[in-house]
Structure 1
Amino acid sequence: MSSLIAPSTEIVAPIASQTAHPSAYSAFKRLLDIVGSLVGLLILGIAFVPIALAIKLDSAGPILYSQERYGLQGRRFRIWKFRSMVSNAEALKQQVKNEAKGLIFKNENDPRITRVGRFLRRTSLDELPQFWNVLMGEMSLVGTRPPTHDEVTRYADHHWQRLNVKPGLTGEWQVNGRSSIKDFEDIVALDLRYQDCWHPLYDVTLILRTIQVLLSRSSGAC
């Protein structure tokens, strides 16, 4: 079993002493992640060139976007996405109104998102590179949304509980109307619900529900 678990990296102090959720040690979940990430990376290999060309033709800047995020028990890792915003998006963030409540930032009509970026987010194609994070064991197919440094510096004690599982490409928030959920505490409640409900086949159920959401084109952008 130990060979299926990724090695530890730097851990954030407030959560380092907590016990990880049983899903973090599940061999079945890790096997599901490996198989799913290999399929996802195959899709990425097929889609990479057309998506990269579309991004470059639409706006100046890199094809991929990376950012430090926090995973299982506060371990830091670098997440990868296709760039969906203008290259100086972080510098322009203060000019955009936050329509969410709490520790997340969300604006449905964020002007920093490019035309191609809106399509990528609507279809979740921008997240294809994260299958590499899953293969490396930094993420899982199913889990919580990986928070940023700005978020975790403002966490209350109960917020750290959501990081007792690996961050995921999908999860309770994504299949329960993420575009309509704008209160961070509601997201935390869904994350903790996942921990309460989890069993190996529950991940399969959420993956199937995610596919259904994507096919219905009802999902919002993260």
Structure 2
Amino acid sequence: MNQLSVVHHPHLNKFSQQSLHPSTISITKRFIDILGAIVGLFITTVIAIPIAIITLIIDPGPIFYSQIRCGLNGRNFRIWKFRSMVVNADKLKHLVKNQAQGHIFKSVNDPRITSVGKFLRRTSLDEFPQFWNVLIGDMSLVGTRPPTPDEVMHYEPRHWERLRVKPGMTGEWQTRGRSSIKDFETIVQMDLDYQRKWSIAYDLHLVYKTIWVVLKKSGAC
């Protein structure tokens, strides 16, 4: 399978024939995404140097980490982050117990996360490179979290509904629990709630709420 193609799944053809979600064709949403991405990339450039220096000192290796994820209608794309785990983290995944239920992987106190990585994740700084994904249109500022191809291969028809919108840097999951939510079906329901409630005003509300949650979690307020 071409890594940057559409993931192959028996329910994909039926799913792709459904009507487009309004958020995927909204010019206003796309304009906000581009504006937000430009501002975000400027901040990313500023913080990249100190993050690079600290990362190289604590755990030498690449500064960025990329992974293939599934976006709108199951289309594959490459997501970018500041590296928060050891260099060979993907090869060690099988050694870590999955504490989540369903088609997601999550582990509290994952031993593969570096000391600087814990800080990056707590403050969500590790996700700033994703502003590039937003700028080129693979992602949106607000949407659903993009799953990995191996997760999507196990999806049932109802799970595909969450891929009717672009994946986002933030969304319902990030603002309503994130790390504490380990049940995949709960995440799917949140994604479907977002689709039903979507509007430009609601997107802006979630962006504001995300900033508040991150600042509160990092101890900045």
Partner residue in 2 for 1:200: 200
Aligned Cα root-mean-square deviation (Å): 1.4
- Report which stretch shifted further, 13-22 or 71-80: 13-22
Whole-angstrom CA distance in 2 between matches of 1:157 and 1:60: 43
Whole-angstrom CA distance in 1 between matches of 2:93 and 2:5: 28
Provide TM-score, normalisation by structure 2.
Answer: 0.92
Counterpart amino acid of residue 72 in structure 1: L
1:11 aligns with 2:6: yes
Q: Contact 2:54–2:116 (CA<8 Å) still a contact in 1?
A: yes
Counterpart amino acid of residue 6 in structure 2: I
SS of 2:126 mapped into structure 1: helix
Partner residue in 2 for 1:73: 73
- Report which stretch shifted further, 50-59 or 125-134: 50-59
Partner residue in 1 for 2:182: 182
Q: Contact 2:7–2:149 (CA<8 Å) still a contact in 1?
A: no
Partner residue in 2 for 1:3: none
Deviations along 1:141-163, one digit per CA (max 9) or x if unpaired, are 00000010110111100110000
Whole-angstrom CA distance in 2 between matches of 1:210 and 1:151: 25
Whole-angstrom CA distance in 2 between matches of 1:184 and 1:47: 33
Counterpart amino acid of residue 95 in structure 1: L
Q: Contact 1:139–1:167 (CA<8 Å) still a contact in 2?
A: yes
1:111-122 equivalence runs, <5 A: 111-122=111-122
Whole-angstrom CA distance in 1 between matches of 2:19 and 2:103: 24
Q: Contact 2:123–2:218 (CA<8 Å) still a contact in 1?
A: no
Q: Contact 2:80–2:129 (CA<8 Å) still a contact in 1?
A: yes
Aligned length: 211
Runs of 4+ in 1 over 2 A off after TM superposition: 9-13, 15-20
SS of 2:18 mapped into structure 1: coil
